[in-house]
Structure 1
Amino acid sequence: MTDRGLALPALRHQLVTAVLTLAAPGLQDAGFDPAPHLATLLTDACDATAPAPWLGHTLRTAEEAALTADLGSALRTHLATLPPDPTPTDHLRANTWHPITTTAAQLARVLLRNDHHHATTA
């Protein structure tokens, strides 16, 4: 694993929080609004549609970037199926939502593993 370190640790925190939240379907009830988490993944903490430039900023490894790109693909597919100005319910009931939670869970495991590894070796 080549850990490129982090130039933007506060944004890393936002990224990890967004990914963990999307990976936890049990938290996604009627009051859940995915919009801020999607914004974090698509604009604030990394561009999941093109994550490679975020290596060393909010992403630690090429594996994280690859899984983030997979999540970006799932997000693009999902967003393309939604009506204009979607409600939280539109997101959660879409057939394309499950691949987001599944891919986010895979990414979450890697993000946390890498953060743990970095914390124990730094």
Structure 2
Amino acid sequence: MKNVKILFTAIVLSSVQAFGQSATDAPPETPAKGDFGFGIGVDYGGFGGRVNVQATPVLGIMFGGGYNLAGFGYNVGLNARLSPDKRVVPVLLAMYGYNAVIRVTDSLDVREIYYGPSFGAGV
């Protein structure tokens, strides 16, 4: 009797799984033309936002701006998605804008924002 219960349970569970595999006619995905978001980092201008417009599936143009503890920081640049159709996408980034900040809080209140090129790579 115990074997019959186990066999019955296995049949019921496998049939439920078979119904979960039904095909759907989903429309084909269209690649995103761009994105925006908020975050922390050099490409976000410090604490701020970033807009990315995909000119082609591989090449994107980005702008980021925000508060970097010494004033307004910005970055503009290009990013390249080397394999946009794969699950793991290597990315190269080249931008110009703020890349360092010095802030001294004393009687002088020194605030310096340094601008220049920045390069990056990631996955």
TM-score by length of 1: 0.29
* TM-score computed with the length of structure 2 as normaliser: 0.29
Q: Which has the higher strand share?
A: 2
